[in-house]
Amino acid sequence: MKHNKIRIAILGSTGSIGKQALEIIQKHDRLFEVVLLSAHSNWRLLDEQAKTFNPKYAVLTGLVSENYNIKIGNPAKTKMYVDPHALNELVNLPEIDIVLNSLVGFAGFSPTYYALKAHKKVALANKESLVVGGAIITELLSQSKGSLIPIDSEHSAMLQSLIGEEKEDIEEIIITASGGPFRSLSLEEMQDVSVEQALQHPNWNMGSKITIDSATMMNKGLEIIEAHWLFDIPIEKITPIVHPESIIHSMVTYCDGSTKAQLGPPDMKVPILYALSYPRRLPLNSSRMDWSQKYRLHFEPVDNSRFPCIELAIDSVRMHKGGPAILNAANEIAVTQFLEGKIKYIDIPKIIERCLNKIHFSSALNYDALVELDQQTRDYARTICQHGTN
Ligand code: NDP
Ligand code: MG
């Protein structure tokens, strides 16, 4: 049976990206339809969303057992699952056209993997999927009828700047970074920054994990790895630059010296909608640049001595196939511990570096090996946090 609407599963619908995706779908409800929503523990918001969108499926991946009797949405319309692994199977459903993965962290890898195995189009916000398992995902993509379209604003800008071009003609990809809330702080001033300060991102309102990643600039490190796998570009050809206004979302320079860029006021709805409508565009009432105004756009190099996480990320790719998965797991634990007030901001790169130096990996990188490596790194990172970083 032919369906008129594009049927979308939103994994992580209660998060920053998930909520914005739902707003877009509501505005384009003649084109799109929600068939699945998921949350980890925020069942109240999931319930509200399910009552509004009446998806066929609602999934809670992280609920504790005493709350098993809660109801999500209208039971006559929505089938509910409380199961940490349900998404891996549900992404297979024939009634799903697009899987929008807006989960946070390593948890996003499995659903991306299974969705591509099921030949789905995946609109990917969960950059960690490509960071930890880029080789596995690209191998899978080469055999899949599915596709992977980035939601991350920099990668959406790269995709738009690469259209109509040949890979051999690319000289360099310039990935822009806002620099986060600590862009102008000295190393000394960074020693005692608080969680509240780190959560104050100057340009974007995002989930807490990516906001801390932006403060340490690990976000840019993860995004360099993401771009490397997404566009099959050597890491050496991807250059991060700080651009505090976040107007240019990234650029590509070609062999004749031309540079193509994608610009716009910072608004994640633009790349989310582009990933859903790609390769076409759909109208969006987002704010526009007013080019009759005087704008000043600024650029500065990344200071690796104040922001060591980018180099750690690049080094992790060069170490061995498991390097980025170790980097990611150590970072997730360090960020969680920082958010819980258990370690300092400046401890985050130290924990990651110690994990990268300690944990070795020489076997073939496959799904099971990746899950084991992730767990092993988390255990070791937690031990470091307990015993102090010095
Ligand atoms: P949020 O923390 O706001 O949302 C995360 C979502 O995933 C929530 O729905 C949450 O459920 C769910 N979730 C959390 N932990 C788990 C888990 N272990 N298993 C399953 N589901 C889980 O994150 P963001 O929306 O900010 O980010 C999502 C992804 O998109 C990240 O990979 C991020 O790097 C990327 N991204 C985000 C941008 C942004 O502007 N926010 C920009 C570019 C990329 P619950 O609400 O119940 O906790
Ligand atoms: Mg980004």
* Ligand 1 within 6 A of CB of 206: yes
Going from the C-alpha of 190 to that of each of 70, 101, 153, 291, the distances in angstroms are: 44, 33, 27, 37
- Both 100 and 226 in a single domain? no
Distance of CA 346 to the CA centre of its chain: 23
Residue 3 scores a pLDDT above 90: no
pLDDT at 146: 96
Last residue of a domain, one of 150, 168, 189: 150
Mutate to test the pocket of ligand 1, among 104, 148, 249 (most ligand atoms within 8 A of CB): 104
**Residue nearest (by alpha carbon) to ligand 1 atom 9:** 12
What ligand is nearest to the CA atom of residue 205? 1
Q: Indicate the pLDDT class of residue 389, thresholds 50, 70 and 90.
A: confident
Determine if the pTM surpasses 0.85.
Answer: yes
Contact 158, 227 (CB under 8 A): yes
**Residue nearest (by alpha carbon) to ligand 1 atom 21:** 40
**Residue nearest (by alpha carbon) to ligand 1 atom 20:** 40
- Both 91 and 195 in a single domain? no
What ligand is nearest to the CA atom of residue 210? 1
Lowest mean pLDDT among 28-37, 277-286, 295-304, 380-389: 380-389
Total domains in the chain come to 2
- Nearest ligand 1 atom to alpha carbon 268: 40
Going from the C-alpha of 25 to that of each of 29, 51, 63, the distances in angstroms are: 6, 15, 27
**Residue nearest (by alpha carbon) to ligand 1 atom 13:** 40
Contact 58, 50 (CB under 8 A): yes
* Ligand 1 within 6 A of CB of 156: no
- Both 99 and 242 in a single domain? no
* Ligand 1 within 6 A of CB of 47: no
| 339-358 residue pLDDT tens | 999 999 999 999 999 999 99
* Ligand 1 within 6 A of CB of 103: yes
* Ligand 1 within 6 A of CB of 309: no
Residue 190 belongs to some domain of the structure: yes
**Residues in the chain, overall count:** 390
**Residue nearest (by alpha carbon) to ligand 1 atom 18:** 107
Backbone angles phi, psi at 321, to 5 degrees: -60, -25
Distance, CA of 135 to CA of 140 (rounded, Å): 9
Provide DSSP, 205-240. Answer: ---HHHHHHHHHTHHHHHHHHHHHHHHT--GGGEEE
Residue 146 belongs to some domain of the structure: yes
Residue 306 belongs to some domain of the structure: yes
Q: Indicate the pLDDT class of residue 67, thresholds 50, 70 and 90.
A: low
pLDDT at 66: 60
- Both 176 and 314 in a single domain? yes
- Spatial neighbors of 170 by CB under 8 A, at least 6 apart, are 162, 233, 237, 252, 253, 254, 255
Q: Indicate the pLDDT class of residue 201, thresholds 50, 70 and 90.
A: confident
Q: Indicate the pLDDT class of residue 69, thresholds 50, 70 and 90.
A: confident
Q: Domain of 249?
A: 155-319
- Provide the 8-state DSSP code for 331: H
- Both 143 and 207 in a single domain? no
Residue 263 belongs to some domain of the structure: yes
- Both 189 and 239 in a single domain? yes
How remote is the CA of residue 14 from the centroid of ligand 1, in Å? 8
CATH number at residue 55: 3.40.50.720
How remote is the CA of residue 109 from the centroid of ligand 1, in Å? 12
Residue 203 scores a pLDDT above 90: no
- Both 185 and 125 in a single domain? no
* Ligand 1 within 6 A of CB of 12: yes
How remote is the CA of residue 387 from the centroid of ligand 1, in Å? 29
pLDDT at 97: 98
pLDDT at 202: 85
Residue 292 belongs to some domain of the structure: yes
pLDDT at 204: 83
* Ligand 1 within 6 A of CB of 181: no
**Residue nearest (by alpha carbon) to ligand 1 atom 5:** 15
pLDDT at 375: 98
- Both 46 and 190 in a single domain? no
| 78-88 residue pLDDT tens | 999 999 999 99
- Both 135 and 205 in a single domain? no
Who has greater pLDDT, 153 or 387? 153
- Both 244 and 105 in a single domain? no
What ligand is nearest to the CA atom of residue 203? 1
Q: Indicate the pLDDT class of residue 68, thresholds 50, 70 and 90.
A: low
Last residue of a domain, one of 116, 150, 184: 150
Last residue of a domain, one of 278, 299, 319: 319
Residue 65 scores a pLDDT above 80: no
- Both 181 and 70 in a single domain? no
pLDDT at 114: 98
Residue 359 belongs to some domain of the structure: no
Q: How much is the mean pLDDT over the chain?
A: 96
Signed CA dihedral, 89, 16, 217, 253: sign only: positive
- Both 144 and 159 in a single domain? no
| 261-314 residue pLDDT tens | 999 999 999 999 999 999 999 999 999 999 999 999 999 999 999 999 999 999
pLDDT at 2: 63
| 87-142 residue pLDDT tens | 999 999 999 999 999 999 999 999 999 999 999 999 999 999 999 999 999 999 99
Residue 330 belongs to some domain of the structure: no
Residue 273 belongs to some domain of the structure: yes
